[in-house]
Structure 1
Amino acid sequence: MCARTWESGGTAAQKPPLVLVCVAIPIAIAVLMPLTYLVIRTAGVGEEKLLTLISRPRTLQVLLNSAILAIVTPILTAAIAVPLAFLTWRTDLPWRRFWLIATTLPLAVPDYVCSFALIAAFGPKGSWLQWLLEPLGVQELPEIYGWGGTLLALTLLTYPYMLLSIWTGLQGIHPAQEEAARSLGYNQIETFWRVTLPQLRPSLLAGGAIVAMYALQDFGATTVMRFDAFTRAIYILYRYTFDRHQAATLALMLAGLVLLLLWLESKARSRAVYYSQTTTCYHSHPTVRLRVWKLPALIFCCVVVSLGLILPLAVTLFWLWRSWLSSGLSEVASLQKLLELAWHSIFASGLAAVAATACALPVVVLSVRFPSRLTTAIERCTYIGFGLPGIVVALSLVFWGANYLPWLYQTLPMLVFAYLVMFLSQSVGTVRSSLLQITPQLEESARSLGKNPWQTFTAITFPLLRSGVWSGALLVFLTAIKELPATLLLAPIGFNTLAVHIWKATENVSYSDAAASSLVMLVVSIGSTLLLLSQTSLKELITEAPILIKEVD
């Protein structure tokens, strides 16, 4: 049995506590700072120059490339996630519980580590595949750089987001509908295409929106694969030219594209109603017997897990082993150095998780318990940061810090603030999902017994929210520890993290250092992902825009 869900915990007539409003409004304003910078910087370009920058063939090509990525990547992830979700939830697939976890763990693999692994395995020269095919006369494989490698990397990196969404959708389908289709003479395949898949449309749209935004924001895969997308073009302009106006213009175009996607997803959601007319949230479905399809299903799961999880681990271990053989342990990153890098990464990401949780609580309480135009606007502002890539947020904070807050520029608080802007929505979405499942009558009963609002929150609400709060903090931690572009531009001098060290070591062709740091990163990330999976339900893992949840009596 699961808790009943509520459309809102209060009424529009209730006035929100002034303290919460005074805390939540500055949070919303802070999240809007990067977008404000882009508008200010672009406004200073001038109309004529702005039109010239936008109409350049290279700019239009970058725009087209990014738009196609945002369209094609969700389609490819859906082609992987839909059969995976059905196999792991509805069939007699052997070791189903193992595949449930293994197909989710690629969430822990950083994009740059996955991309380097794909190049090492399938690159045109010196790759594992080319080495295996060399006895057959294959001296050089086709280029993996560009469209092919980028789409492959992004698909492997993002299909778990689609998978989580599809899993949630499958749990919400009542078995009576499929049973009715079977009674009308449909076989299992026809039932899936005519009944099950149409009901998964909201989940496909939700997962597709997340995947599309990830594809637009990605920096590591597009840069490693030498693909001209917005993030790579912005980074090159910022690091190797003095034209900040063009970088800001591209960043604003990217932000506009992402915000348009968020708006379209929000409009689609606002017309949807998600509810269950039964007292249970999860229904027992008859198990589908795979029979002759069991072996192909196992091969499919093995290929997906091998490419998304085992390959990055194998390449990392191979680099480390080869470095030990050729140079000895002295050339590999020392244990003390690795521990320092790991501590920096864990410390900064941990601070971001704590900050995001502390900021999410007042925003969520306001939006759920005191719904109004003001509280809704405050909550929606927190999602803007999720739509801004790390390179865009970093550029804006460099501007604000260098010009107005020099004492904060390139300090740890500024780096943590960047993480907060980008990942606050993940904590807000998870905590909001938990609060919506807590009936407000519990809080009203405590108030009727003489408890003040703070006592009611600490004694009643927060203990029931603990799982959602913990899950949101872990999700922010897991995402922040892998963040690269913002860390590259904003980390304090001498404050190297695992992500930055892996990137710089690979640029310097120091694969021993990169391999050792990548291994530590994978261990920390996979451990965090396993902890996250053990603490939260699949539905709470979906970091989406707010869902309209209605109570049905």
Structure 2
Amino acid sequence: MSTDLSASGTPAGSTTTAGKGKRPRPPFGVSTVSILAILTALFSLLPLGYVVYMTAATGWDTAVELIFRPRVAELLLNTILLMVITVPACLVLGVGGAWLVERTKLRGHRWWAVALAAPLAIPAFVNSYSWVSAVPSLAGIWSGVLIATLSYFPLVYIPAAATLGRLDPAIEQSAASLGLGPWAVFFRVVLPQLRIAMSGGALLVALHLLAEYGAFAMIRFDTFTTAIMVQFQSTFNGTAGNMLASVLVFLCLILLLVEVRSRGTARYARIGSGAQAKATRMPLGLYQVPAQLALLALTVLAFGVPVWFVLRWIVAGGPDVWAADEFIPALLQTLMYGAVGALVTTIVAFPMAYLAVRRPSWFSKMLELSNYITSSLPGIVVGLAFVTVSIRVLPGVYQTTGVLIAAYVLLFLPRALVNLRAGLAQAPKELDEAAQSLGKAPLVSFFRVTLRLSAPAAAGGAALVFLAIVNELTATLLLSPNGTRTLATEFWSKSSEIDYTGAAPYALLMILLSAPMTYLLFQQSKKVAGQ
């Protein structure tokens, strides 16, 4: 009597086995991963809970009185004007630069591709410090627009350039064959394809504008963040500052909703491999020289001026500015906080990334969304939330290293989460199952297969978190333990005392630490674009 076999050689009707007759199991129980992800999501909602609680505790009448007053209207007007002017300027510079680099016969386009991303390595408050050194009278809305635009336009340029790099050239060729000129092709065909990149970049710019403190405080331009910090320093977590924070959070949530709506429902993906030919670059002709001069001016203003004045102050200060007893402790503490924060953030992000890739559902998407909402909140709101909770609930942990690391985790979790998701997606679960079918325990197969394959992505995410922590200022000022000296806080302390020569070494070290990570981010965007 013959036995009916399946295609795999397993007797029909039997259960496919792995090892000892059991179905391959995940390295961690699904319930355990889910619990860890839920705890992470609840933890990430702490700042929102703080805002809601403080608003409710203030009382409706007092809250209305504090929110609807002339000072708040002034801050709101400043903030709206700043966004209305800066975001379009960043879109024009970012998209225009990306189009010149990716779609025209621009001489030296490979060099310009890197040069336009380089300003991202310079923290906005260092940029402001340099421009105040050049023009001490800088102040007000237009100074804020200048510094913010030069600091943040790469946030639009990088995704726009990546999108143009992977855009199917057949679309443009078809439009041209129908009689459309180069400019018509750009506005009617290419620009709509950049919709997601533009809306995402605009959101990042707007959120940075709401969160930035140092750059605007240095030029005496009042925003919600600078006003909240003044309130905190004068009244220590006073009611007025909390109400300003609630308005700031409300603005952030509105921006998130606007960005989601601006994406639309159109599809931007192509079916199949698409055209294999490279995109036809448009000749610039007589515009070659103006294009080169425009990009040179932009690069000089956004990157050359800050670097020049940092080096100039270092030279003016002489060897004394490199006093080892001052900058070496700051450098070591910065590296320590950056390394520990990056490691902890990557570990905390792992359960949620694992759940999103291996057990995708509406539930895992909601958990992931909670982290993105919190990360969009300004550092000063996250800092105030931890100040309030640590003082009222756990007074013993206030101004400890653990609280500061926890704030870093909340602020920068998505940077690790996005990279971990990509890494886990490239490590199919079938490889785990195959290892278990050979008798390996779930944890052993996980460490030997999945973790090894996802390690490069995890390292990339940790590097981006490290970069963010190195340049973080506001939350560090609020939460750092007494005696803490990071590059950012020491720079801020000395520049606030108008000791520009003393602040210069810290600025230079932050730029040198940020430059490799910025280049990594740029290369990752190009790799995603398939170049």
Could you say whether these structures have the same fold, taking a TM-score greater than 0.5 normalized by the shorter chain as the test?
yes
1:209 and 2:203 aligned? yes
CA distance in 2, matches of 1:281, 1:19: 46
1:337 and 2:326 aligned? yes
Partner of 2:405: 416
SS in 1 for 2:105: coil
Partner of 1:426: 415
1:355 and 2:344 aligned? yes
CA distance in 2, matches of 1:437, 1:537: 17
Q: How far 1:344 moved relative to its partner? A: 0.9
1:50 and 2:63 aligned? yes
Q: Which moved more, 1:420-429 or 1:181-190?
A: 181-190
Map 1:518-529 to 2 at 5 A. 518-529=507-518
| Residue of 80, 83, 102 corresponding to 1:70 | 83
| Residue of 296, 299, 302 corresponding to 2:290 | 296
Alignment deviations for residues 469-498 of structure 1 (CA, whole Å, 9 cap, x no partner): 222111111111111111111111111101
Of structures 1 and 2, the larger Rg is shown by 2
Alignment deviations for residues 74-103 of structure 1 (CA, whole Å, 9 cap, x no partner): 211011011211122223322222222221
| Residue of 458, 480, 483 corresponding to 2:469 | 480
Q: 1:281 to 1:360 in 2, by over 3 A?
A: farther
Q: 1:419 to 1:300 in 2, by over 3 A?
A: same
CA distance in 1, matches of 2:346, 2:339: 11
Map 1:309-388 to 2 at 5 A. 309-324=303-318, 329-330=319-320, 332-388=321-377
Q: How far 1:64 moved relative to its partner? A: 2.7
Q: How far 1:274 moved relative to its partner? A: 4.6
Q: 1:273 to 1:496 in 2, by over 3 A?
A: same
Partner of 2:192: 198
Give the gaps of 5 or more residues in structure 1.
1-13, 125-143, 542-553
Q: How far 1:16 moved relative to its partner? A: 7.5
Partner of 2:54: 41
Q: Percent identity?
A: 33
Partner of 1:235: 229
Q: How far 1:333 moved relative to its partner? A: 4.0
Contact map agreement 1:166 1:203 (CA 8 A) in 2 = yes
Contact map agreement 1:430 1:540 (CA 8 A) in 2 = no
Contact map agreement 1:255 1:387 (CA 8 A) in 2 = no
Q: Which moved more, 1:493-502 or 1:22-31?
A: 22-31
Alignment deviations for residues 128-162 of structure 1 (CA, whole Å, 9 cap, x no partner): xxxxxxxxxxxxxxxx3111111111111111110
Give the gaps of 5 or more residues in structure 2.
1-25
Partner of 1:152: 146
Q: How far 1:349 moved relative to its partner? A: 1.4
Contact map agreement 2:162 2:525 (CA 8 A) in 1 = no
Map 1:249-288 to 2 at 5 A. 249-269=243-263, 271-279=265-273, 284-288=278-282
Q: Which moved more, 1:367-376 or 1:205-214?
A: 367-376
Q: CA RMSD of the aligned region, Å?
A: 2.4
Alignment deviations for residues 219-262 of structure 1 (CA, whole Å, 9 cap, x no partner): 12221222221101101111123561111111111112112222
CA distance in 2, matches of 1:441, 1:502: 50
| Residue of 169, 177, 199 corresponding to 1:175 | 169
Contact map agreement 1:150 1:227 (CA 8 A) in 2 = yes
Look up the equivalent residue of 2:288 and give its one-letter code. K
Partner of 1:406: 395
Q: How far 1:374 moved relative to its partner? A: 2.5
Q: How far 1:176 moved relative to its partner? A: 0.8
- TM-score under structure 2 length normalisation: 0.89
Partner of 2:452: 463
| Residue of 480, 489, 499 corresponding to 1:491 | 480
SS in 2 for 1:496: coil
Contact map agreement 1:468 1:540 (CA 8 A) in 2 = no
Partner of 2:7: none
Aligned length: 503
CA distance in 1, matches of 2:411, 2:268: 27
